[in-house]
Structure 1
Amino acid sequence: MPTADPRLTSADVDVLRVSDLIHWGQPRVDLVGEPVGLDRTVRWGLPTDLLDPSPYLRGGELVLTSGISMRDAAAQRAFVASVRRTRPAAIGYALGVVESTVPPALIEAANEAGLAVLSVPPDVPFLEITRRIAHEQQRHDAEELARESVGAIFDMVRRGHASSIVLREPLEGALGEVPGVWILAARGRVLRPGGRSLVGTTGGHSIAIVPATQPGPPPADLLGDDVGWSGPAELGALAGALREAVAAASLASRHGAPRGPRDLATWDGLIERLTPEQLAPFRDRLLAPVVDYDARHRTGLVETLERLCHHDGSVQSTAEELFVHVNTVRKRVGRIEALTGMSPLDTRGRAAFLVALAARS
């Protein structure tokens, strides 16, 4: 059953990670030891020479130390033990203050704790690293704010609360003059199609509008396993294309493969496009009485209903699969009809029960 999507958070989308620091170039930091914990999020940089800086850590820090307070292996291991409790991002060790290389005991203890260790060359002040982290965080925040602003417009157009004309200016600024566009959507991550694109985030979805360079579906390099897409659309048809792409993205996330307009003309596509409010009467008026009866009387009405729907209403096939007599199935069908006013042997009734069963999952 479709549910309200969670908001995209910094943990879900474009954040600064330990692996990013290694590829900065300036200021330079180098990975030493095992490549562990590289996907940890870096929230801030904290220089410290305390043997136990844990009272000042809140998680996600790159803990920078010169090693002054840890002259032996025991102290180095104690330092790692103190910081690991706060779930830091990584440990950075300044070379040339106490040691010309990072102490092996520090590396070993950190790697065992799942923490990467970065060496900081003698000519790189900690201040440069903390400034760069702050700059990256500000840039990420600005990009996220811009995506949310664009996403709010996407959402208004998709819901029919605004005309697609409001997208003309931002689209022309991002894409230039194009005859048509594709709309791509994914749940829980930021789409980065490259080239000319307009990207927004809204309601747990990332949505990208890109130039349509050919008839039919977008090329494979624009699609991932979780991407839904719309057919080529002109400016006046963006509302429908946005709805199409978002619905296709929900299908893609469930099936682990890209989905497009044709996939929406399926049973799964239909169910995915029904809102919780639209599904609720089927679940509450058709399925709930049957579930409640099973719970009170220890019967198998729901299982019988599922098998009848699976076998297109065949009483004989259902009886064989449940290892019961056909008359038992007929009696259960009568009870279901008495409880709900609908029979799973009737085509339209069975369709309604199929929606009710889908609403339960």
Structure 2
Amino acid sequence: MDDDLRLTVGRLLEVPRFQLRLVAGAAGLDRPVRWAHSTELLDPGPYLRGNEVVLTVGAALGDAERCAEFARSVHASRGSAIGYGIGDVLPESPQPLRAVCEELGLPLLEVPPEVPFLSFTEWFAEQMATSRTERHGREETGRLFQLVANGLASPEALRSRLDEAGLSDESLAVLAVPSTDLPERLDTSRGAVLGVDGNIALLVVGSEEHATELARSWGGVGGIATPGPLEQIPQALAEAISALETAGRGGTIVRAADLATFEGLLSRLERHQIAPFADQIARPLTDHDAVHGTELAETLRAFLRTDGAAGSAARELHLHPNTLRHRLSRIKTLTGRDPLDFGDRVALAIAMWAVRGDR
């Protein structure tokens, strides 16, 4: 089964058509499941590939020793669970089998008499086909998104997909998230067009609020473009991808508006690009403070917070203006950057941002 399904034993228990009942091994409900295999062999291991629900009516499980041998074979072969068909041999799964499955953390599921084992393999085959169809559709839409973003296709090429999703072309929000964060099935009840291109998933939805909700529910990392009409989709796709790159570094949700800020610009720089500011400007100040017990770094931060207003900074720090000017002079000497010069003040601001504890 494709990894896209991410099916677990716990999820299989929720499938209405099987009416399964868990009787042991609840510790293994998060085991992945990809297929079902029916057998009456005591040692089915050689015929298992892993992650199967192993179905049996228990014809060979006549005593505790045989129950243990069967369960341990399934467990050693990475089987996900045992499905015991009740009614053919016994009206319920044998207690010794329950005991060993509980010990192994191997889920034991009772299958009612009216559910044929063949229905399991048919259902898994249906899920595989559905998964492949959905994956193909997502990849095709992802390629179309890339063509539109690169100017190789008109935004009008997306109109039919938007119509199918019930989305208005007057206000569209684009969300970019890691494709690994996508759920097994996308809830499209509120309208969404999904495309996957490599490790990035792009969604067009009807509002920024909806995009934010989805990003939060899928791992809390995402980039959201500025909402706009259909003709602005090329720009929105690029914005969302750029915002996702920044979001990935901080593990947050980043909106396009956040990129057009001083910190938004700095957050998109790699560490090696920021390092010279930290090493050549900030470190001399912090080292001097550590050795001499001064507060030059905090003085500079206050000066930067007040946009270079010496009077305001002095009041914030409870200093005499002359004391502040002396500290600014010392900062200039240690860093080679003049806090009173706008260009140098920008470099000083970058340096202090680079060594900020919460970066």
TM-score in terms of structure 1 length: 0.71
2:87 matched to 1:96? yes
5 Å-filtered alignment, 1:138-153, equals 138-153=129-144
The match for 2:192 is: 197
2:120 matched to 1:129? yes
Sort the Cα spacing of 1:61 and 1:269 in 2 relative to 1 into closer, same or farther, 3 A: farther
5 Å-filtered alignment, 1:110-259, equals 110-187=101-178, 188-190=180-182, 192-195=186-189, 196-212=191-207, 217-218=209-210, 221-224=213-216, 225-259=220-254
The match for 1:79 is: 70
Contact 1:16 1:136 in 2 (8 A): no
Distance 1:97 1:172 in 2: 52
Sort the Cα spacing of 1:254 and 1:356 in 2 relative to 1 into closer, same or farther, 3 A: closer
Contact 1:175 1:210 in 2 (8 A): no
Contact 1:19 1:38 in 2 (8 A): yes
5 Å-filtered alignment, 1:199-348, equals 199-212=194-207, 217-218=209-210, 221-224=213-216, 225-266=220-261, 269-270=264-265, 283=272, 308=279, 312-313=281-282, 315-321=284-290, 323=291, 347=344
Distance 2:241 2:101 in 1: 43
Secondary structure of residue in 1 paired with 2:159: helix
Sort the Cα spacing of 1:159 and 1:318 in 2 relative to 1 into closer, same or farther, 3 A: farther
Sort the Cα spacing of 1:84 and 1:160 in 2 relative to 1 into closer, same or farther, 3 A: farther
Contact 1:14 1:190 in 2 (8 A): no
CA displacement at 1:45 relative to structure 2 = 0.8
Contact 1:308 1:318 in 2 (8 A): no
CA displacement at 1:52 relative to structure 2 = 1.0
CA displacement at 1:124 relative to structure 2 = 1.3
Gaps of 5+ in 1: 1-8, 288-301, 325-342
Listed one character per residue, the Cα deviations across residues 25-48 of structure 1 (whole Å, up to 9, x for unaligned) are 113222222433323322111001
Listed one character per residue, the Cα deviations across residues 97-149 of structure 1 (whole Å, up to 9, x for unaligned) are 22221223323323333322211111211011211121112112211111111
5 Å-filtered alignment, 1:58-69, equals 58-69=49-60
Percent identity (aligned): 31
Distance 2:350 2:335 in 1: 9
TM-score in terms of structure 2 length: 0.71
Distance 1:49 1:268 in 2: 65
Secondary structure of residue in 1 paired with 2:29: coil
Counterpart amino acid of residue 132 in structure 1: W
Q: CA RMSD in A?
A: 3.6
**Higher deviation after alignment, 202-211 or 216-225:** 216-225
Structure 1 residue runs of 4 or more that deviate by more than 6 Å after TM superposition:
348-357
The match for 2:329 is: none
Secondary structure of residue in 1 paired with 2:27: coil
Distance 1:111 1:233 in 2: 55
CA displacement at 1:88 relative to structure 2 = 2.0
Gaps of 5+ in 2: 293-333, 338-343
Sort the Cα spacing of 1:61 and 1:194 in 2 relative to 1 into closer, same or farther, 3 A: same
Contact 1:49 1:68 in 2 (8 A): yes
Query: How many residues end up aligned between the 2 structures?
Result: 304
User: Which is higher, the Rg of structure 1 or of structure 2?
Assistant: 2
Secondary structure of residue in 1 paired with 2:232: helix
The match for 1:3 is: none
Distance 2:263 2:109 in 1: 48
Sort the Cα spacing of 1:231 and 1:354 in 2 relative to 1 into closer, same or farther, 3 A: same
Secondary structure of residue in 2 paired with 1:259: strand
The match for 1:296 is: none
Sort the Cα spacing of 1:242 and 1:24 in 2 relative to 1 into closer, same or farther, 3 A: same
Contact 2:167 2:205 in 1 (8 A): no
Listed one character per residue, the Cα deviations across residues 192-251 of structure 1 (whole Å, up to 9, x for unaligned) are 353211111122122211123xxx654754441223322212212112211222333344
- Structure with greater contact order relative to length (CA < 8 Å, sep ≥ 6): 1
CA displacement at 1:85 relative to structure 2 = 2.2
1:45 aligned residue (30, 36, 59): 36
Sort the Cα spacing of 1:101 and 1:116 in 2 relative to 1 into closer, same or farther, 3 A: same
CA displacement at 1:179 relative to structure 2 = 1.1
CA displacement at 1:54 relative to structure 2 = 1.0
Distance 1:193 1:92 in 2: 30
Contact 2:145 2:237 in 1 (8 A): yes
